[in-house]
Structure 1
Amino acid sequence: MAKHYRRPLLAFYMAAPPTQAERGEDFRTLPPEHSIAQDALVDALIRDVRARQQIVREALEEEDAAIRLPFVGSMTMRQGANAVLASIVETLNLDLERYRRGTNRQPGGFAYLRHQAEQAGIYVLLIGNLGSHHTSLDVETFRGFALADEVAPFVVVNDQDAQTAWAFTLLHELCHIWLGATGVSGAVAESAVEQFCNDVAGRFLLPSAEIETLAGLRGASFESAVTRINDFAEQRNISRSMVAYKLLREGLIDRELWSRLTALFRSQWKAARASERERNREREGGPNYYVVRRHRLGDALVNLTGRMLAERILSPTKAGKVLGVKASNVYGVVGAGSAGFNAAQG
């Protein structure tokens, strides 16, 4: 039961059930038929991320490296999406053209945005399950999580989503950090704060002046709309679903067309993901475990953990908790990937 419910064994000897994990604010809009099991997985994920963040914060304070980040909670929705975006762009030194170079892999796209966020002191993790595909987090239920802490802010992006959507989710969660709004986000944005964060992310990735070039979709056939959106999104390294959402928000398409486009893009993405998984099963071997783990954790967290290990501020057990691996695998994760660990050992 401890393994199934992802609770410490001692929790089952308590006089009363433990309280639900504090999510901050739940910004999601969930359908009535959503899975209760998925909610339990989200709770377990947030407990885990909060525990990791607390260890990181305490380690930074022990090392006297706990710097208050002035941008956390520095903005409000009343200041408007343009003002919030301007603050994010200036603080992270973001450049849209640099983002658009390459693909969503190195050197452009999500990797670029993540690097800029990590340089500013934000830890960005890719987490799509709790250790196996049996615990995969459905994108409709969980898209991202922001922990708006002034010393060690964390952002989690669900890597079960399409890679072209990761950048949008990261920017959305960064907006939560700027608003000081800790909480969990889903796929449907109906609340005011979720629509606001979507608008901030969309204004960076796709300025309104560019979306106007698709104004002619109003009277176009469905097939023509799909083709033009495909080309438009590929040229700008953004997801097709984001383009469709932006078109809806700008009033360039109606909700019926948006719903049809979204359903098509989602079904095509699911089919492509299933095909890729099948190809991966047929291949011998696979990507190196430690390379994959470092990619999901991000350089900032791996390097920090390596440095804290070298300085004996973190034990292998606590480092394993931060990295989400067994203590026996800690040195494999940080040894080849952590500049701080390698420098200290050298």
Structure 2
Amino acid sequence: MPNVNPDVLRWARETAGLDLHDAAKRLGISDTRAIAGPDRLAALEKGDGEPSRPLLLKMAQHYRRPLLAFYLPAPPRRAERGEDFRTLPAEYGQRDAALVDALLRDLRARQEMVRSLLEVEDEAKELPFVGSFDMSGGSKQLAKAIAQTLDFDITQFRRGGRNEAFAYLRDLAERTGVFVLLIGNLGSHHSTLDVELFRGVALADPVTPFVIINDQDSEAAWSFTLLHELAHVWIGRTGISGANPSTAIEVFCNDVAGQILMPDGEALRDDALRGAPSDQVIARIRQLAETWQVSHSAVAYKLFREGSVSRDVWAEVSGIFRRQWLQNRAAARERNKDIEGGPDYYVVRRHRLGNRLVGLSRRMLAEGALSPSMAGRILGVKPTNVYALTGAATAGASGRAA
């Protein structure tokens, strides 16, 4: 095996979003009398010495890279991640960029594994709606096409609370063949990705389309984000979306989602909001959000797009709602930090992964078409957890070897 290129060591750490101090801590590189742990790692990245194989294995785990990547002759170019539809905040930094790249790399790998699995089992089929629409057809026509394909019933969507509404919409999307995941970090709270960095991702593969929603966002916003990303799937545009729509495609996809969840004409009597004070606008938005089972920001955006409120009012009330949500979230976390126990790990994990991905893994494990190690990579868990997570029969219970 050739020697490790120190440039690759540095590239792997930086693209994992880790500085020298964090990396040394995770890798267990401790201080000695002569040199601090981060400095020991920096020396390796400068070519002063060769990392041991146990250390390389740790690097592969914590940097989220295959072991063979460390023996590349040079750092590879950044993998294709699709288009970047975001308008990023000024404080967006290198570590944030590395975390987003690591997330997208992980999602791409998991999607490719699912597709390969379906192809091997002769179950791969192209879904006719992926890439079937052109933006020139207009947002209303695409909204109609998506609603028809999903068999979406707005009355059913609004019947329960917001969690029930999202569960209903997600189930419809997964029944059409889309994998819908809730992911807001890379496996720990240390790698949390704020909604300002990404709100959603669409991987518009014709066989295994993935939609990822940032679960750090308000739960009330998930349905809107899901439909926004489905619009990306329908127009065949893979990429990452942010919280602030400023490009033509993001405005278009927002209009599609808004048309499905809040059809034009439902707020006709809100012409009276033109020129109204902010408190009156906010009160009306709260009322509509409760009725329509969507977020306050979605209603505010819809009213702006319909001309019921000005751009300045939309920006003002959206900022107010955003600050209130952040305050409420911080207060909730403070209340819950000392509570023992919490929700069941497997229940939470299944919810984040979605029924389609968990169900496929369960069936393939039971049939022996999927090994626990591969299932763990697809599901983002340890191989020892896949049977408990999926509810599949343990190895040896089926006729085929896992």
Normalised by the size of structure 2, how large is the TM-score? 0.81
Q: Contact 2:89–2:196 at 8 Å: present in 1 too?
A: no
Cα offsets for 1:162-188 (capped at 9, x unmatched) = 001000000000000100111110011
Q: Contact 1:21–1:46 at 8 Å: present in 2 too?
A: no
Partner of 1:288: 344
Q: For residue 343 of structure 2, what is the amino acid of its counterpart?
A: P
Partner of 2:139: 81
Partner of 1:131: 187
Partner of 1:232: 288
Q: Contact 1:38–1:138 at 8 Å: present in 2 too?
A: no
Number of residue pairs aligned between Structure 1 and Structure 2: 339
Normalised by the size of structure 1, how large is the TM-score? 0.94
Provide the rounded CA distance (Å) in 2 between the counterparts of 1:196 and 1:24: 18
User: Is residue 2:114 matched to residue 1:56?
Assistant: yes
| Aligned-pair CA distance for 1:5 | 4.1
| Aligned-pair CA distance for 1:287 | 0.4
The one of 82, 94, 105 equivalent to 1:36 is 94
| Aligned-pair CA distance for 1:344 | 6.8
Partner of 1:167: 223
Provide the rounded CA distance (Å) in 1 between the counterparts of 2:336 and 2:344: 13
Between Structure 1 and Structure 2, whose CA radius of gyration is higher? 2
Provide the rounded CA distance (Å) in 1 between the counterparts of 2:93 and 2:311: 26
Q: For residue 112 of structure 2, what is the amino acid of its counterpart?
A: Q
Partner of 2:278: 222
Provide the rounded CA distance (Å) in 1 between the counterparts of 2:333 and 2:205: 36
Cα offsets for 1:124-150 (capped at 9, x unmatched) = 000011111111111011000011111
Q: Contact 1:92–1:117 at 8 Å: present in 2 too?
A: yes
Alignment of 1:13-28 (within 5 A): 13-28=71-86
Partner of 1:329: 385
Where relative contact order (Cα < 8 A, 6+ residues apart) is larger, the structure is: 1
| Aligned-pair CA distance for 1:275 | 1.6
Q: For residue 96 of structure 1, what is the amino acid of its counterpart?
A: I
Distance change (3 Å), C-alpha of 1:151 and 1:13: same
Provide the rounded CA distance (Å) in 2 between the counterparts of 1:175 and 1:235: 24
- The alignment yields a C-alpha RMSD, in angstroms, of 1.8
Unaligned runs of 5+ in 1: none
**What SS class does the counterpart of residue 115 from structure 1 fall into?**
helix
Q: For residue 361 of structure 2, what is the amino acid of its counterpart?
A: T
The one of 171, 175, 199 equivalent to 1:119 is 175
Provide the rounded CA distance (Å) in 1 between the counterparts of 2:230 and 2:283: 31
| Aligned-pair CA distance for 1:83 | 1.3
Distance change (3 Å), C-alpha of 1:278 and 1:33: closer
| Aligned-pair CA distance for 1:18 | 2.4
Provide the rounded CA distance (Å) in 1 between the counterparts of 2:73 and 2:125: 40
| Aligned-pair CA distance for 1:60 | 0.7
**What SS class does the counterpart of residue 146 from structure 1 fall into?**
strand
Provide the rounded CA distance (Å) in 2 between the counterparts of 1:344 and 1:313: 10
The one of 196, 204, 225 equivalent to 2:252 is 196
User: Is residue 2:184 matched to residue 1:104?
Assistant: no
Alignment of 1:313-324 (within 5 A): 313-324=369-380
Q: Contact 1:140–1:187 at 8 Å: present in 2 too?
A: yes
Q: For residue 87 of structure 1, what is the amino acid of its counterpart?
A: A
Partner of 1:276: 332
User: Is residue 2:192 matched to residue 1:140?
Assistant: no
Cα offsets for 1:218-263 (capped at 9, x unmatched) = 1221112111111111111111101111111122211221111111
Provide the rounded CA distance (Å) in 2 between the counterparts of 1:257 and 1:12: 52
Cα offsets for 1:54-91 (capped at 9, x unmatched) = 11111111111112110100100011111111111111
Q: Contact 2:368–2:398 at 8 Å: present in 1 too?
A: no
Distance change (3 Å), C-alpha of 1:175 and 1:6: same
Provide the rounded CA distance (Å) in 1 between the counterparts of 2:254 and 2:310: 18
Provide the rounded CA distance (Å) in 2 between the counterparts of 1:266 and 1:140: 11
The one of 256, 261, 277 equivalent to 2:317 is 261
Provide the rounded CA distance (Å) in 1 between the counterparts of 2:62 and 2:353: 24
Provide the rounded CA distance (Å) in 2 between the counterparts of 1:126 and 1:222: 33
Provide the rounded CA distance (Å) in 2 between the counterparts of 1:213 and 1:344: 61
Unaligned runs of 5+ in 2: 1-12, 14-58
Q: Contact 1:77–1:179 at 8 Å: present in 2 too?
A: yes
Identical-residue share of aligned pairs (%): 57
Provide the rounded CA distance (Å) in 1 between the counterparts of 2:337 and 2:108: 33
Partner of 2:105: 47
